[in-house]
Amino acid sequence: MNRLLTRVFTTLMTLAVACSGDKGFDPEQLAVGPGGLVGNGDPLTPGDFAGGDDVLPAPREVTPPDDTRPPDCDGACVSYCNATSLQNPVNRGLCRSLWGVGLSHQPINHPEACRRLFVDVLGRLPTAEEADATCTGGWGATVKRLMDSQEFIFINQRRAADKFLYSNEVVNIQAIYDMDRLVEKLYRGKVPYDLFAAVVSAHPVLTRRHADPGDKVESLFRLFLGRPPFEHEKADMARIYRPWHSGYYDHPQLGRMPDAYLKFPCLTEDKKAVDPIRKGECTSVLWGYHELVFVPDLRAATDRQLNQLTMWNGLLSPEEWAQVQLPGRVLATELAFWERAVDDVLELYLGYELSPKVPEVRAELVRWLLEHQGDIRSVHYAVLTSAAYLQSAYGDTATSYRWTHGPMKQMDAEVWIDSMARNTGYTTTGCDHRISQPELLLRSSSIAAYRVLQSSRWILDEEGRIEQSYANLARTLGGCPENIIGGRFRVVSILTTGTQLAFVGDLCNPTMDADVRGAAIERLLPAGVEPGRAVDQELAGQIATHQYRELLGRPPSAEELTEAREAGAQCALDRCGAEQFARPLCFALLSSAERLFY
Amino acid sequence: MSDDTKKPVTIGRRGLLKGLGAGATALALPTLWLPNKAYAQTSGRGSVEHLIYIRLGGGFRFTTAFNADVDGDFNPFGSAGQRAPGTEWGVGSLLEQATWLEGDEGLPRVELGMQRVTDFTNEICVLPCVDHEPFSARADGNHGTGLERFLTGFVGGNTSFLSYLNYGLREKVAEAARQGETLLPAFSLGESGMALGAGVYAGYRPPVLDGSGFERFGFDPDSTLPAWAVNIAGNLDSRLRAKLHPGLRTGVEAYQQTREATRAYGRIFRDPILRVNATSEEAVDGISNRELVTMLGDDGTGREVVLALRLFHFGCPAVFLNQGFYDFHSDEADGLPGEMDQANRLLSGLRTALKRMQHPKGGTYWDKTLVVLGSEFGRTAGGNKFNSANGSDHSSDLATRWMSMPMMGGIIDQASKGGRRLGETRASDLKAMGKVYSYRSVLKTLMDLLGADHSTVFPADNPLEDLFL
């Protein structure tokens, strides 16, 4: 009987779609999933956050602590910090471990700060001119301007792909696109962080990736609490993950894809009512009484492998989605959830864990985030405009307290490659974090899948093959992860360094090999300098000044300028032309550690 | 109070050149070899120099090839009509596929000595029932976690097999360095998941190489850059390091060290024999790159295997690579034979090449190499020959559960295990009728055979002595 009803229902659905005026498959509108149900209104806040231009206090005049133990902020210290007019929550929290106890922060210069901000917020290094033009006016306004850009959204979408390990081998690509859209809404301030977590907790990107209910709980805890669940937590929450089943969805255009389905446990034998005895197996009681049992209706169909009724997640109603998003809502009631949210942002921008060292920063940021209705942008803004972020990484400090000097991080592979290309005018292709295994789409032999690839960031050549050179390079360096296992990595190894040197060699072409498609010489020489012009010390200085600004984003120091002039003199001994000087110099600059760390 | 916990992971020259392992010591000084009784080991410990570990990508339906004497629902392609004498494991008809031996195009390969896999099944030993978790109630048929188990041994495992191996061979590598020899580490060709490493293993992550060669290392800064440019490059890094806060210098120092180390390794990486795309006629170890490419194929995987054999020349203990894509949720009936054709060619080509290649330490590479095939899980059609899309899936049943792993190489010959089956399944329902081995035990066995220290790896799983009984 059920099978008959299912057929009737399927037929009706098909007719409904056929009569609805659906214009067919659109690869640009691929996203399907629960992310489409939320964040469709205005942003939670206008995005004009306070504390972007705090005037930082002078250190209190006391003997600063040595670094053998954590600083102790006594009553006078607390009073001193309370008397400051700091609005930035990170600065407010930091005061009791920094200025209030007599320590100083490490002042930063404008190019260093702007360079760091560009990489963190836009995902690339600026040229000196670009930095001068962009990082103008107040720092808070600059940060807001960059955070409003599409590049900020994109880089956070890529970070989310790394975090949630998007893999189109494991998860329906439509769900991945939906998750990507949800992340955009998060960073446009349209979805509060707790709602984001709730949607993620039942999103196919999570539920289809992990087969076992316990694995889903483990993943959720690691993602949003930063720790694995205790056994009793895992066992309890796993009960409300019991309905999920990893199945396959036959998309009419894209073919067979892995996707999440719902099963119907904890019902009576006839599957028509909740079993009063077994419903405990589908009920979480650790965080309050949460029962999650569904009774099948016409939307359910028999899975031949399971020999059970299942229902495709795409048929869930908004109310049912809200029900299955229970695990995320449960976690959001925990203070640790909000603490982890701010800790993630702190670690992203600082490169180390500040919260365990200065817990007041975490407390202030959590309060700040809740005051801003869970708009995660407020935390990004607060950290990017804080003294913890705006400190120099250069120079020694009186103590080694980590928060008294600035961050120093290694660039992601894509940032390194893209910046190289942009600074030299070199043409590269790319990879698409939403489609970690593009070859799977090609293998499906579907025109629709091909169109998805065409509209993605992957580049197809004239014969329809995927251009993989960028991905191969990036994967060797830890980027463009396939995310089946592991994911992005940052490593300094012989292989990565050798690969980087070879790439820079191709880009700068220091040997002037005619077969190498290097960067255009015009980008490596100051305007008006002919490639064949004979190099002397003066011209070498001009070329070096140009390249330091273009390639390293800063002017050369006096020592570096002298060194370049001397190099020009040596080069001139061999009747060297401007190009013969510029290309090896390009290699020397671009292969430096300064291009890898920021 | 400096607390930079996120120091960059470095595979520096020093790290790579550390130490010679107990197994290698045994090889160098066989009469002085005293087995370490502190942890379990096999009779064949240290008897293998090189490992080629091939993953049949996407989940492989083992019952169609290496455990094929089962009911049609598990093997719709049937068993092979003939198999080499003395073969007791179930040989699938798909192993008969050998289009690469056919016609004029196949003639050179015939002349080089290649044969159908079914002609040498008696040189292959199969473990029909290798299981991720023998005590688990069901199979792990999930791509993500199944592959995590396959590459690291556990769900959420943070160290991959090859990282364990490089760590286990650290003493061997260091001893070689003391003797002035640079030994390459294990390599993962194209699979970054095989290069995870946490804690003490972080510095032993294998290099991940995409593509089939070291062409990217063709650039030689030493010989191509003018001295003034080398000077500027070096000074830039030194100045940056000096300017940095002392607590932040680690990354730059690592970069400086590896840049220096690339010179030593660069000499190896630029060696012409690693230019497998060049198809050189020059014979090295008794065989030319052209002959190897003829045997193993001109496609990506073929060249990766050629590269693996050439890496072995430089002391590389193991290479991992993916072959094919077997995640046939649809069209398996049409697609699988073609993929198997390629896998068969690799098996046959490897056997022929290894038997011809002369090892620098004497004997052939076959004597000193083990070839192993695996996959993250088996496949099922839910009690039918195929699923509704003419393919197969992966779930929690026995067909998904058993990874029927084949092994071949000199050690299998020496242990008289060619053609043998270590374990058995019932044809009707795949119920295990013999031994079930944990997958971690298999990995540990591979480490043991390579002479690696595995005292800290998978403590609950022992290497398989059954290979030598």
Tell me how many residue pairs between chain A and chain B have CB atoms under 8 A apart: 253
Residues from chain B that touch A397, judged by Cβ atoms under 8 A, are 245
Q: Which residues of A touch B151 (CB under 8 A)?
A: 485
Asked whether the beta carbons of residue A405 and residue B247 sit closer than 8 angstroms, the reply is yes
Whole-angstrom CA distances from B198 to B205, B208, B247 are 9, 16, 22
Q: Write down which residue in B228, B248, B269 finishes a domain.
A: B269
Co-location of B133 and B213 in the same domain: yes
To the nearest whole Å, the CA of A305 is away from the closest chain B CA by 5
Distance from CA of A476 to the nearest CA of B (A): 6
Closest CB to A305 among B205, B228, B395: B395
B197 with B162, same domain: the answer is yes
Least confident of A196-200, A494-498, B391-395, B461-465: A494-498
Are B265 and B254 within one domain? yes
Interchain proximity B208–A399, CB inside 8 Å: no
Q: How confident is the model at residue A128, as a pLDDT?
A: 87
Does any domain span residue B7? no
**Among candidates A485, A497, A588 on the partner chain, residue whose Cβ is nearest the Cβ of B255:** A497
Q: A308 or B121, which is more confident?
A: B121
Contact A563 B241 (CB under 8 A): no
**C-alpha triplet B83, B89, B90: angle, nearest 5°:** 70
Q: What percent of chain B has pLDDT over 70?
A: 89
Query: Total domain count for chain B?
Result: 2
Q: Are A163 and A294 in contact (CB under 8 A)?
A: no
Name the residue of chain A whose CA is nearest to B196's CA: A486
Question: B145 and B226: one domain?
Answer: no
Sequence-distant (6+) residues with CB within 8 A of B204 are B11, B15, B163, B164, B166, B167, B170, B185, B197
B380–A305 C-beta distance less than 8 A? yes
- Per-residue model confidence (pLDDT) at position B211: 62
Could you say which of B5, B209, B225 has the minimum Cβ distance to residue A587? B225
Amino acid sitting at position A257: M
Amino acid at A377: R
Cross-chain Cβ contact B240/A593 below 8 Å: yes
Q: B246 and B199, same structural domain?
A: no
Contacts of B2 in chain A (CB under 8 A): 400, 402
Strands of A349-416 (E only): list them.
none
| Domain limit, last residue, from B269, B284, B311 | B269
B124/B250 same-domain check:
no
Q: Identify the pLDDT of residue B19.
A: 32
**b/e map B191-229, b = 16+ CB within 10 Å:** bbbbbbbeeebbbbbbbbbbbbbbbbbebbbeeebbebb
Is the pLDDT at B2 greater than 50, yes or no? no
Backbone φ/ψ region at A210: left (φ over 0), alpha (ψ -120 to 50), beta: beta
pLDDT at B165: 98
- The rounded distance, in Å, linking the Cα atoms of A388 and A106 is 9
If asked whether residues B192 and B241 sit together in one domain, one would say no
Q: Taking the complete model, does pTM exceed 0.80, yes or no?
A: no
The answer to whether A342 and A354 are in contact (CB under 8 A) is no
Q: What is the pLDDT of residue A286?
A: 97
What is the amino acid identity at position A463?
E
The last residue of a domain, from among B250, B269, B288: B269
- In whole angstroms, give the CA distance from residue A205 to residue A31: 12
Statement to judge: residues B249 and B395 lie in one domain = no
- Kindly determine whether residue A567 and residue B228, on different chains, have CB atoms separated by under 8 Å: yes
pLDDT at B331: 86
Q: Quick one: B263 and B147 in the same domain?
A: no
Residue B278 within a domain: no
For B216-247, give the DSSP string: GG---HHHHS-HHHHHHHHHHHHHHHHHB-GG
The pLDDT tens digits for A278-334 are 999 999 999 999 999 999 999 999 987 778 999 999 999 999 999 999 999 999 999
Task: Flag if A593 and B241 touch (Cβ within 8 Å).
Answer: yes
B2/A400 Cβ within 8 A: yes
Q: Is the pLDDT of residue B212 over 80?
A: no
Residue B138 CB burial class (10 angstroms; 0-12, 13-18, ≥19):
middle
In DSSP terms, which residues pair with A308 in a beta bridge? A303
Residue range B336-382, pLDDT digits in tens: 999 999 999 999 999 999 999 999 999 999 999 999 999 999 999 98
Contact check, Cβ <8 Å, B233/A592: yes
pLDDT at A197: 98
pLDDT of residue A305: 72
Structural contact between residues B374 and B54, judged by C-beta atoms closer than 8 angstroms: yes
B439 lies in a domain?
yes
Interface test with B, best of A170, A254, A402, A485 (most B CBs within 10 A): A485
pLDDT digits (tens, 9 = 90+) for A520-568: 999 999 999 999 999 999 999 999 999 999 999 999 999 999 999 999 9
Which chain B residues are Cβ-neighbours of A571 within 8 angstroms?
226, 228
Distance of alpha carbon B131 from alpha carbon B151, whole angstroms: 14
Residue B243 and residue B328 in one domain? no
DSSP string computed for B83-125: --TT--S--BGGGG--GGGSHHHHHHHHHTT---GGGSGGGEE
Structure tokens at B224: 């191509």
Closest alpha carbon within chain B to A222: B156
Q: Which chain B residues are within 8 Å of A492, Cβ to Cβ?
A: 8-10, 251, 254-255, 258
Nearest CA in chain A to B244: A394
* Nearest Cα residue in chain B from A591: B233
The C-alpha atoms of residue B391 and residue A304 are separated, in whole angstroms, by 14
ipTM of the complex: 0.90
Task: Among A353, A491, A496, select the one facing B5 at the smallest CB separation.
Answer: A353
The stretch A568-572 carries a mean pLDDT of 96
- A454-469, pLDDT tens digit by residue? 999 999 998 889 998 8
Report CA dihedral (A229, A230, A231, A234) to the nearest 10 degrees.
-30
Q: Which residue of A has its CA nearest to B203?
A: A493
Classified as helix, coil or strand, B443 is helix
**pLDDT tens across A10-66, in order?**
455 445 444 444 456 888 899 999 999 999 999 999 999 999 999 999 999 999 999
Tell me the CA distances in angstroms from A297 to A3, A294, A309, A315, one per residue in order.
11, 9, 10, 11
How far is it, in rounded angstroms, from Cα B424 to Cα B418? 16
Chain A residues closer than 8 Å to B192 by CB: 475, 478, 481-482, 486, 489
Nearest residue, CB atoms, B10 vs list A472, A492, A499: A492
Contact check, Cβ <8 Å, B229/A170 = no
Residue B286 forms part of a structural domain: no
A210 pLDDT band, cuts 50/70/90, is confident
Q: Give yes or no for a contact between A117 and A553, defined as CB atoms under 8 angstroms apart.
A: no
Distance from C-alpha of A10 to C-alpha of A12, rounded to nearest angstrom:
5
Q: Among residues A158, A189, A184, which one has the least CA distance to residue A378?
A: A189
Q: Given an 8 Å threshold on Cβ–Cβ distance, is B231 in contact with A402?
A: no
CA distance B220 to chain A (A): 8
The answer to whether the Cβ–Cβ distance between A499 and B216 falls below 8 Å is yes
User: Where do the structural domains in chain A lie, given as residue ranges?
Assistant: 2-43+151-329, 519-595
Three-state secondary-structure class, residue B192: helix
Q: Which structural domain range is residue B391 located in?
A: 13-100+119-218+319-337+366-468
Is A467 within 8 Å of A456 (Cβ atoms)? no
The C-alpha atoms of residue A439 and residue A468 are separated, in whole angstroms, by: 10
- Cβ neighbours of A70 in B, within 8 Å: 1
Q: Tens of pLDDT along B141-157?
A: 887 788 989 999 998 78
Instruction: Give contacts of A306 with chain B, Cβ < 8 Å.
Output: 395
B12 pLDDT band, cuts 50/70/90, is very low
Degrees to nearest 5, angle at CA B298 with B292 and B302:
65
Alpha-carbon torsion, ordered B30, B34, B38, B44, to 10 deg: 40
Out of B2, B141, B196, whose CB is closest to A402?
B2
- CA distance between the termini of chain B: 56
Give the distance from CA B145 to its chain's centroid.
20
- The b/e string for A165-186 (b: 16+ C-beta within 10 A; e otherwise) is bbbbbbbbbbbbbbbbbbbbbb
CB contact under 8 A, B245 and A482: no
- What pLDDT is stored for residue B195 in this prediction? 84
Q: Tell me which chain A residue has its CA closest to the CA of residue B14.
A: A494
Residue B242 to chain A, least CA–CA distance (Å): 9
Dihedral pair phi/psi, residue A221, rounded to 5°: -65, -45
Q: Do B221 and A505 touch (CB under 8 A)?
A: yes
Contacts of B148 in chain A (CB under 8 A): 485
Considering the domain architecture, whether residues B243 and B265 belong to the same structural domain is answered as: yes
Query: A85-88 long-range contacts, Cβ below 8 Å, gap at least 24?
Result: A85/A54, A85/A55, A86/A51, A86/A54, A86/A56, A86/A57, A87/A50, A87/A51, A87/A54, A88/A50, A88/A51, A88/A52, A88/A54, A88/A382, A88/A385, A88/A386, A88/A387
Mutating which of B225, B270, B307, B387 best tests the A interface, going by the most A Cβ atoms within 10 A? B225
Same-domain pairing of B188 and B324: yes
Whole-angstrom Cα distance, residue A273 to residue A270? 8
Mutate to test the interface with B, among A166, A222, A495 (most CBs of B within 10 A): A495
Please say if the pLDDT value at position B446 is more than 80: yes
CATH number of the domain that B210 lies in?
3.40.720
> Are A246 and B142 a contacting pair at CB < 8 A?
yes
